[in-house]
A and B are shown apart, each in its own frame.
Chain A
Amino acid sequence: MSDSYIFRYAAIMVILVAAVLSAVAMLLKPAQDKNVAIARMRFILESANIEATAENAIELFEKYIKEEEVISSEGEVIAIYKDGKLEKGEVRAFDINLKEELYNKSKGKEFVLPLYIADVDGRKYYIFPLQGRGLWGQIYGNLALEQDLVTVGGSQFGHDKETPGLGAEIELPMFELQFKGKKIFDDNGQFTSIKVLKGASKILSGDQLLHGVDAISGGTITSNGVSEMLQTNLENYLPYIQKQKQQ
């Protein structure tokens, strides 16, 4: 077989395969998007300590998430979504792509942030979506703060392709439950993010223990990614938190 035959063969094969794959991807996109939205609802609920399944996620989300707010970089509430309709502003927090907003921030452009307020049987949670980088790809999560906006009431972490058995363990309750009761401000009201450290429960003492959790063995880069994610994402919300506290 001649070289030109090989080239023609390869070219035609690649174009054919590409066409088939694009068609499949386009066909399945609506169903996949719906699944992703449901998964995000479950994650948000999970951080507020509500276990939802794929079937009841939409229902529970409507029940417990009382308010969705869009926050400007100065900490102003620029949009409110409540009881199934927009009360203020033009965009629903759930429709904001946090990754894009963080990219805008890194480019020095204007950005907005999503925030969810949950009411679980009288307990109020402020839920902050998080977005960061692990070892192989993106990691994300939600951190729920209690009404005092200092104490962590719950957390949820997820990843796209961290190493199974190592970094991927951040999505397990074993890791997530450590965050409950930790604080993101110290006694003087200074912002002190929660660090994910090797042997945190051994090397930290006293008040420091409120700002550190145990990392995952063999998942150092993912663990550092979680620390970094908490630090940078929560920082963005500081103006909002200060404003809320003054009220």
Chain B
Amino acid sequence: METKEKESLFSAKNRKLIMNPLNLDNPITVQVLGICSALAVTAKLKPAFVMALSVVIVTAFSNLVIAAIRNGIPPRIRIIVQLTVVAALVIVVDQVLKAYVYDVSRQLSVFVGLIITNCILMGRLEAFAMSNKPWQSFLDGIGNGLGYSWILIAMGIVREFFGSGTLWGYPVMPQFMYDLGYKNNGLIILPPMALILVGTIIWIQRSKSRELIDKS
């Protein structure tokens, strides 16, 4: 009985809800949503990670809450209801960051607040949570959050390593490289380079998954 219960919680269909957004339906590289924050907070790994975690939490729980109350939401004010739920969750996340990781919260500055306007969130709420059960919506939220996250973290690693020679604030580029004349690449810390990096990820992804390429 118990195994059957587990089976249904993580059935093939439900697993797909998490796995799809990681690759074939990635919010950043395929749907091209949430680009703004992806460019802004990935110059260092730590803020990128905290931002990613915040987005996972907000997408998962806003999906869960909206799916749970979806049948009672008056259709005419549904966007307002969705926004209220998202905004409340974002404020909670922001307050928690201010209380426990104050430095990172200062670095993220406005971008935590801007999660409210992150297209991934509203997109998932409208497209999925409004017409699916809470558990599936929760998984969908986690999936999309993680799809956003791994891109952010990958970019954070690349940009911090090549831009500052550190990872998570710890120096990893060996000193002899600097002695040999190696210099940190200042350009990679700037937002334009982040855009090129996203482009590169999209390029690699499409060369591997050819079904993503437009036929036209």
Contacts and interface: CB of A to CB of B under 8 A. Distances in A.
B88 A1 contact: no
B76 A6 contact: yes
B109 A168 contact: yes
A24 B98 CA distance: 12
A35 B88 CA distance: 22
A54 B77 contact: no
Contacts of B74: 1, 5-6, 9
Given A6-B77, A28-B96, A168-B109, A13 B103 contact: no
A24 B92 contact: yes
Contacts of B88: 17, 20-21
Interface in B160-216: 191
Interface string A21-51: 1001100100110011011000000000000
Tell which of A14, A32, A161 has the most Cβ of chain B within 10 Å. A32
B99 A31 contact: yes
Given A21-B91, A168-B109, A32 B76 contact: no
Classify the secondary structure of A's interface with B: helix
B102 A161 contact: no
A35 B96 CA distance: 12
Contact of A31 (B72, B76, B100): B100
A164 B40 CA distance: 9
A93 B16 CA distance: 59
Contacts of B117: none
Given A17-B84, A17-B88, A10 B77 contact: yes
A165 interface: yes
A54 B102 contact: yes
Interface in A69-103: none
Contacts of B111: 164
Contacts of B95: 24-25, 28, 32
Interface of B: 40, 72-77, 80-81, 84-85, 88, 91-92, 95-96, 98-100, 102-103, 106, 109-111, 191
18 contacts: A1-B74, A5-B74, A6-B76, A9-B81, A10-B80, A10-B81, A13-B84, A20-B88, A21-B91, A24-B96, A28-B99, A32-B99, A36-B102, A38-B102, A39-B106, A54-B102, A165-B191, A168-B109
